[in-house]
Amino acid sequence: MTYLVLVRHGQSKWNKENRFTGWVDVDLTAEGVKEAKKAGKLLAKEKIRFDAGFTSYQRRAIRTLWFTLEGIQQFHIPVTKDWHLNERHYGGLTGLNKQETRDKHGDEQVHIWRRSFDVPPPQIDKTHEYHPVNNPIYQGIDPAELPGGESLEMTTKRVLPYFQSQIALFLRANCNVIVSAHGNSLRALMKELFKVSDKDIPGYEFPTGNPLLIELDEGTTRVTSARFLDESRAKELPPLPGKNA
């Protein structure tokens, strides 16, 4: 049996303030640090030895991985950071308070921006402070690849090729892997692993700092079981591929 753990970063400062965060590199709150440390304690009980870790370029995910690896005493494993695992870019919504945005644009429009699969938020151009071309973190990356706003579909098209070309190689070699990322980049992975439809995937949630433990058939990325380790904060999971709901 091969193990894949997906963990969404702990609560961030803009999560707490109910703001659209996306690619803005906000840090964890004290509660977020607590959640990340608890993720490590929960995972330690499973006694899994990991071979590799993956995370995004964003500190809230990176620090969550640090605290988790500390909790399982596995700081030694190789960790790859890659921008393809970043959160969905919220474009012109970035930094806005979600409730104030609902008040201005209406619940229906905000729901479409947040929970549709293929409708992107308002785009920002390369002169905007929140466009990644203006962030030194992304220097050296082709500016044409850096988004000014993404739908979940666009995020999926960014994340899944990286998963297949990098992470899945470890899994097919029967290596245990941990991925610390974000709500929407993890949705993209869930969509692939559980074969979730475009229509249904926006409805699935990843609680902050609650590891999702996935068991895979050896030599494959075929899911045989999955569960959130903190049952008190668990969210509904898709049915296993090939199984009836």
Note the pLDDT tens digit of each residue in 173-199.
999 999 999 999 999 999 999 999 999
**Cα gap 106→102, rounded to integer Å:** 5
Share of residues in the chain with pLDDT > 70 (%): 98
Residues 35/208, Cβ–Cβ less than 8 Å: yes
Alpha-helical segments (H) within 22-92 = 30-44, 59-71
pLDDT in tens, 94-146: 999 999 999 998 999 998 998 899 999 999 999 999 999 999 999 999 999 99
Q: What's the burial of 36, exposed, middle or buried (CB within 10 Å: 0-12/13-18/19+)?
A: buried
**Cα gap 29→37, rounded to integer Å:** 12
Which residues is 181 bridged to in the sheet?
8
pLDDT in tens, 194-213: 999 999 999 999 999 999 99
pLDDT of residue 244: 39
Share of residues in the chain with pLDDT > 90 (%): 96
pLDDT at 243 over 80: no
For the chain, the domain total comes to 1
Give the CA angle between residues 26, 28, 33 to the nearest 5°.
Answer: 170
Q: Residue 22: inside a domain, yes or no?
A: yes
Annotated catalytic sites, by residue?
9, 87
Q: Residue 110: inside a domain, yes or no?
A: no
In which domain, by residue range, is 165 found?
A: 2-89+151-233
Q: Residue 102: inside a domain, yes or no?
A: no
Q: Residue 95: inside a domain, yes or no?
A: no
Q: Residue 128: inside a domain, yes or no?
A: no
* pTM summary value: 0.96
- What would the mean pLDDT of 36-62 be, rounded to a whole number? 98
pLDDT in tens, 72-101: 999 999 999 999 999 999 999 999 999 999
Q: Residue 130: inside a domain, yes or no?
A: no
Element containing residue 232 per DSSP (H, E): none
pLDDT of residue 115: 87
Q: What is the CATH number of the domain that holds 217?
A: 3.40.50.1240
> If DSSP states are collapsed to H, E and C, what string results for 94-157?
CCCEHHHHHHHHCHHHHHHHHHCCCCCCCCCCCCCCCCHHHCHHHCCCCHHHCCCCCCHHHHHH
Q: Residue 57: inside a domain, yes or no?
A: yes
Q: Residue 206: inside a domain, yes or no?
A: yes
Please, what is the average pLDDT of the chain? 96
